[in-house]
């Protein structure tokens, strides 16, 4: 009787609707799994068509081509004598399901539909799929004619069933079913299922990687058994980056785990384990055994096949991570600690990998970035440089696909990248677009960073273009608008700022289209944007300025995280130019300098600090707080502010949010990173036309402020959910200056000019000079 089983979890960088490429990557993963000795291969969710097909799932062509790919896989000799499950959509009785299709040689064994769909975050699975709600039930599924001709089968089981081989039993979960309180792995393990395979499409968010690992470890710790987690990786055509991390788990510990971030399209994670470890582990948990004796059975598809080897000398996997468990059963030939990337490392890797996938699949020749010398655009530049480092590293390790892709991008079939700076010079064009309002310091900072990362850099002055636009206006109106420092009105001041900002977008696209022509290369460049998640939330950007681009690598990242990332990146790559960038106060430089010094600071313009913005963002999205709930939480958290001051801050934020929400409708696509992103394409569905007075909500806040004022004391609270430690030690209202700020009028342009209220209110703010 065999004991040792070798299984494979596959990480694939698939591309939605790229059936040819997806087929080749699946076939490669099967070939590598067999070469490693695996008898069972499991792949990620919807791997045949790609996860992000979205409304293409409505098309019968998508379903047809999935069956065609499955038929090609079954015909291949590579797929012989190995049990395989793949992910694809299947229509049963005119209803489309997200399914795992398991086959062996030329026989389809089972079609297992997803039972719990994911609807949160960026997921909208019920738009295209229906859940299978008939637990432990199967129905007859009539195979398409092309498959029947290949297999000789007309009907196969469709539903909630498991597969019994001669030596073990295999069950299935699909992504969300692992995360749900009613996970399928619990009743399946009670019914003797020893191997559970999960084909997943889990995407990247900061500080999330440990969650999946903990879920699987917990599942196998309680129930025992082997759990195979196969995940997608990369950008398959949208805003999300699937973050890999496929792994094989046994009885509460990790046998093997794949990389979270990488440029390779196919990664096969293999482990060998002893079936008797599962059985003895479960048998020693007596309460589990008593419950299992009363469990209801699953329908079983019985097959004449064995996963285990007769060779008892085969060594189980020697990668054992966190082996603590409730008894001493099982193999103990090693102990390692699982490690996770820091948030700064995640920022340096995930958007960089996302940029690579976008670049190579868009058939463009590189990137164009307006580089202002500030934290945001410098972060975008550093992410491109990080991408270049990853490319050089992958090529040096022999990744033929990366080498082939970079040769296509640069238009040189013999090119071999060996130096990240040289590659960055080839792929990234940066440009400082100065005006008479720009300072020499920002120009120097941009030039020095470009020099250190190697980008192809230019300094230009756009004052002639600004004057030309103003000349058109003056020709018609005979009026010359002035900045407020020269006696102009708020509307004049705002219009003059927006001309500069919007011209930079036009110039950026001109340069992106022609710079490769100048350099003697074919194609064009992708324009990169540099607006962070906090400024998008606040609306602190101009519609159709440099925030409008092809893609934005930092659009899902907070200002504070970007600063921490630059600190990390400076140490890792020795980029001393980042020191001055991090020390400088954030500024748009759209208003005239006074004696060569800045008069415009972002946090002053916004009337709130980036720390406060991050707090507002997390409360609004993660804690589902409206204006009143946000005030109620913060009044007990911001101890150094009076209730009136907290109320003023909350009201100011929600006024700005309402006035500027329309800008989210044209927000440049960015790599989804942060859990409080305001991106309304998929993640944050809200109106874009608000009554910005919030009269009812603000009246409720005023009533509480009035009560607090009458009682002459602040209410106490035991609510710890917003303890500063739980919002990553955000400190607000401490050591602050006071200044008059003004409410913004409901216009539709950057940093809308304030309208003076009857009684100016005081908005505390932190020092803008300090850095993280």
Active site residue 489: no
Contact 112, 102 (CB under 8 A): yes
Residues 6+ apart with CB under 8 A from 472: none
Tell me the CB-side half-sphere exposure of residue 546, using CA atoms within 13 A.
26
- Residue 679 and residue 431: Cα distance in Å, rounded? 27
Largest Cα separation within the chain, whole Å, is 95
Is beta strand 242-243 parallel, antiparallel or unpaired with respect to 233-234?
A: antiparallel
Active site residue 651: no
> Which one of 317, 372, 380, 677 is the catalytic residue?
372
- Residue 371 and residue 374: Cα distance in Å, rounded? 8
With CA atoms as reference, report the closest residue to 361 among 705, 50, 67.
Answer: 50
Contact 285, 224 (CB under 8 A): yes
Residues 6+ apart with CB under 8 A from 455: 369, 371, 381, 384, 385, 424, 425, 428, 429, 430
Contact 585, 609 (CB under 8 A): no
Active site residue 372: yes
- Residue 44 and residue 245: Cα distance in Å, rounded? 11
Q: Which two tokens stand for residue 484?
A: 């407020």
Active site residue 114: yes
> Which one of 45, 492, 603, 674 is the catalytic residue?
45
Q: Which residue has the tokens 């192809």?
A: 456
With CA atoms as reference, report the closest residue to 281 among 317, 329, 331, 249.
Answer: 329
> Which one of 49, 175, 223, 382 is the catalytic residue?
175
Q: How far is CA 772 from the centre of its chain?
A: 24
**Residue 352: burial class (beta carbons within 10 Å; 0-12, 13-18, 19+):** buried
> Which one of 4, 114, 563, 651 is the catalytic residue?
114
**Residue 311: burial class (beta carbons within 10 Å; 0-12, 13-18, 19+):** exposed
With CA atoms as reference, report the closest residue to 85 among 115, 56, 48, 116.
Answer: 48
**Annotated active-site positions, please?**
45, 114, 175, 372
């Amino acid at each position: 009787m065999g004991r040792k089983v070798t299984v494979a979890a596959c990480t694939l960088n698939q591309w939605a609707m790229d059936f040819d490429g997806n087929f080749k990557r699946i076939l490669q993963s099967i070939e590598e799994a067999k070469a490693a000795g695996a008898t069972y291969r499991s792949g990620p969710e919807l791997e045949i068509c790609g996860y992000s097909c979205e409304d293409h799932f409505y098309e019968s062509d998508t379903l047809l081509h999935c069956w065609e790919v499955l038929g090609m896989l079954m015909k291949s000799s590579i797929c012989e004598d190995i049990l395989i499950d793949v992910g694809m959509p299947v229509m049963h009785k005119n209803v489309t399901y997200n399914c795992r299709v398991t086959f062996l040689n030329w026989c389809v064994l089972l079609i297992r539909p997803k039972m719990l769909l994911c609807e949160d975050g960026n997921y909208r699975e019920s738009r295209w799929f229906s859940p299978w709600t008939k637990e432990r039930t199967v129905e007859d599924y009539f195979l398409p004619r092309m498959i029947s001709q290949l297999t000789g089968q007309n009907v196969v089981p469709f539903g909630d069933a498991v597969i019994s081989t001669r030596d073990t039993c295999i069950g299935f979960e699909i992504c969300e079913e692992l995360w749900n309180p009613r996970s399928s792995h619990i009743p399946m393990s009670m019914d003797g299922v020893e191997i559970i395979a999960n084909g997943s499409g889990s995407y990247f968010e900061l500080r999330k990687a440990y969650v999946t690992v903990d879920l699987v470890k917990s599942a196998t710790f309680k129930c025992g058994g082997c759990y195979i987690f196969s995940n997608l990786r990369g950008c398959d055509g949208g805003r999300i980056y699937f973050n890999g991390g496929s792994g094989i788990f046994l009885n509460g510990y990790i046998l093997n785990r794949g990389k979270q971030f990488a440029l390779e399209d196919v990664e096969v994670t293999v482990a060998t384990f002893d079936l008797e470890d599962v059985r003895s582990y479960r048998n020693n948990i007596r309460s589990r055994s008593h419950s299992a004796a009363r469990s209801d059975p699953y329908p079983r598809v019985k097959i004449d096949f064995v996963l285990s080897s007769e060779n008892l000398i085969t060594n189980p996997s020697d990668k054992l991570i966190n082996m603590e468990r409730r008894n001493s059963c099982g193999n103990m030939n090693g102990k390692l600690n699982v490690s996770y990337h820091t948030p700064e490392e995640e920022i340096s890797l995930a958007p960089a990998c996302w940029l690579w996938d976008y670049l190579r699949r868009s058939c463009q020749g590189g990137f164009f970035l307006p580089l202002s010398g500030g934290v945001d655009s410098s972060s975008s530049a550093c992410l491109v440089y990080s991408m270049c480092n990853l490319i050089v590293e992958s090529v040096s390790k022999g990744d033929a696909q990366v080498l082939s892709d970079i040769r296509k991008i640069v238009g040189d079939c013999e090119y071999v990248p060996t130096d990240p700076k040289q590659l960055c010079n080839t792929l990234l064009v940066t440009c400082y677009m100065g005006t008479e309002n720009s300072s020499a310091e920002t120009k120097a900072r941009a030039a020095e960073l470009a020099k250190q990362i190697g980008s192809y850099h230019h300094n230009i002055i756009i004052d002639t273009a600004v004057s030309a636009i103003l000349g058109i206006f003056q020709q018609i109106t005979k009026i010359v608008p002035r900045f407020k420092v020269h006696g102009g009105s708020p509307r004049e001041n705002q219009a003059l700022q927006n001309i500069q900002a919007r011209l930079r977008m036009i110039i950026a696209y001109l340069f992106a289209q022609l710079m490769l022509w100048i350099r003697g290369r074919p194609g064009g460049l992708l324009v990169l944007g540099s607006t962070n998640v906090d400024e998008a939330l606040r609306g602190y950007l101009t519609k159709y300025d440099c925030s409008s681009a092809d893609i934005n690598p930092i659009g899902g990242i907070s200002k504070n995280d970007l600063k921490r990332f630059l600190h990390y990146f400076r140490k890792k790559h020795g980029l001393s130019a980042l020191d001055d960038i991090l020390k400088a106060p954030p500024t748009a430089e759209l208003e005239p300098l006074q004696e060569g010094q800045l008069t415009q600071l972002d946090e002053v313009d916004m009337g709130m600090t980036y720390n406060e913005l991050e707090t507002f963002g997390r409360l609004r999205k993660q804690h589902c707080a409206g204006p009143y709930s946000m005030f109620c939480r913060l009044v007990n958290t911001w101890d150094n502010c009076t209730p009136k001051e907290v109320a003023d801050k909350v009201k100011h934020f929600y006024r700005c949010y309402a006035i500027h929400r329309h800008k989210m409708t044209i927000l440049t696509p960015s790599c989804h990173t942060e859990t409080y992103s305001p991106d309304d394409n998929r993640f944050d569905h809200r109106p874009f036309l608000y009554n910005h007075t919030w009269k009812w909500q603000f009246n409720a806040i005023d009533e509480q402020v009035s009560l607090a004022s009458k009682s002459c004391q602040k209410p106490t609270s035991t609510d710890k959910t917003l303890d500063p430690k739980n919002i990553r030690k955000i400190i607000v209202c401490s050591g602050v200056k006071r200044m008059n700020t003004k409410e913004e009028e409901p216009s539709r342009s950057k940093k809308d000019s304030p309208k003076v209220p009857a009684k100016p209110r005081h908005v505390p703010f932190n020092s803008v000079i300090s850095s993280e």
